[in-house]
Structures are given as C-alpha cells and as structure tokens.
Structure 1
Amino acid sequence: MFVAESGNVKEFTRLITADPSKLNVRDSRGRASVHQATVRNHVTILEVIVAFQGNLNLTDNHGNNALHLAVESEALEALEYLLSK
C-alpha cells in the first residue's frame, strides 16, 4: 500500500480504520503494508499495523518477512521495533 510507504500516518490510519482488510493488500512483489513501512523505516506505521492486529510475519514472493527486509534495507529503527515484538 503506497500510503504505508509514504509514511503518512494520519492517512494510513484513516484508510485502515475505514477498511482493515487493506492491511494485507499486496503489490506485484507480494509486499504488504508491513513490508513497505519496514523498508522505509516508518516505525509509526508499524505501530499502527500492530494496533490493528496486523501480521508482522507476512512473507513476500521471495519468502522475506519484515525482519529480513529491515536488515537488507538497513532500517535500524524498524529492525529494533520488530525485534521488540
């Protein structure tokens, strides 16, 4: 979901509140909001995902979960947050 990638917490929260199923919408690479937020190091988006009981362990088309992508992207704040969950 593009909004997760952009880091716009207010808009992301509005969209997820309106339709929580959007948490699991995937792009052509199999990446969902959790992956997009992680790659961009948007911890506040990850917090919203957790608040809506989003799955932090989803894998993309290559079998990568958010932890894998955090390491690959050097998204240290996201990595720290994910490890705390």
Structure 2
Amino acid sequence: MASSRWIRPEVYPLFAAMGVAVGICGFQLFRNITINPEVRVNKQNRAAGVLENFEEGQKYSENFLRKFVRNKKPEIMPSLNSFFSDPQN
C-alpha cells in the first residue's frame, strides 16, 4: 500500500536527480579522502601538523579535466557554432 503511494512514475525523475546528486557527493568525498593533500585520515599523518607541500597541492588542483579544458573555447558544440558563424563555410 505504501509503495503504491510513493513509487509512482511521476517520482522517477526525482529519484534520478537525487541519485545523481548523491553519486556526485560520494565521488567528491572519496576523492577528498584518498588524494587530497590536506586531508589526513591516519593518526601518524595528523600528528605532522601543517605541511608545506606545494607540489602535492598543485598536482591535486590541476587535475586531468582542468588540463584538458584549459585551452578549449567555452562552447558546447564547436563544429556547429563554427558552421553557422564562419562566413567562409
């Protein structure tokens, strides 16, 4: 009875949106725990205090996606935009 009340076809987009949001949060949590230089999980690393590890921080902040997108134009469909905007085509 309760499942027929809450699980209707109208609610599926809400479940999908919430699932994507929870997935993104979980990914970011996992990424921060595993490779963030400022997060220290074990006791030995926490006792080290503030570390001056600029190289590791630079490596963390300059990830693959940023390096890939850095020299690209901010366009969604570059070939379609150039087709309609360039007069020589």
Report TM bin, short chain.
Answer: under 0.3
Q: What TM-score comes out, normalization by structure 1 length?
A: 0.23
Higher relative contact order (CA 8 A, sep 6+): 1
Q: What TM-score comes out, normalization by structure 2 length?
A: 0.22
